[in-house]
Amino acid sequence: MSKLRIIKDFQKLSQELQEQVKLVYPEGFSQHLIEFQNAKKEIVKALPFETDDKIYLLKMSVRVANQIIEDDDDYDDDGNLLDSVKEKYVGDYAELDYLADNENYNAEEDDDDDDPDVIKKGRVGDDDDD
């Protein structure tokens, strides 16, 4: 069975779906936008989000994606979902198996920043000698 694809604005989602999207994208939206061609043959950017029966393509430009995060009190000044908010949403939506179907979803918390098994992401060329 293929899932229904829905193109929609993020702001028009229910509050619950918006919260679930934030769980899947705790570090913001703009870096996860994809491009596709709509029915009018226009190239559109969107944020993908899957539920049990639907694949949402949440229309937004990079500018709009950044503005949504900037205006949202659930995110800090660096564009990261606040830990307290993430914990609440993980608790609220723990029973939803489909969240794990989303490529970017990671409900696990890393409480130990000194854990040697954790590889921290950085950009090539970044160094601490500046």
- Over residues 20-73, the pLDDT tens digits come to 999 999 999 999 999 999 889 999 999 999 999 999 999 999 999 999 999 999
The answer, yes or no, to whether residue 118 has pLDDT greater than 80, is no
What is the pLDDT, as a whole number, of residue 120?
Answer: 33
The two structure tokens encoding residue 38: 């709509």
The answer, yes or no, to whether residue 127 has pLDDT greater than 90, is no
10 neighbors 68 (Cβ within 8 angstroms)? yes
Looking at the chain, how many residues does it have?
Answer: 130
The two structure tokens encoding residue 89: 């949403």
28 neighbors 79 (Cβ within 8 angstroms)? yes
Question: What are the CA-CA distances from residue 95 to residues 12, 15, 21, 42, 83 (Å)?
Answer: 24, 17, 15, 37, 19
Domain boundaries, the chain: 4-101
The answer, yes or no, to whether residue 113 has pLDDT greater than 80, is no
Average pLDDT over residues 80-106: 92
The reported pTM is 0.78
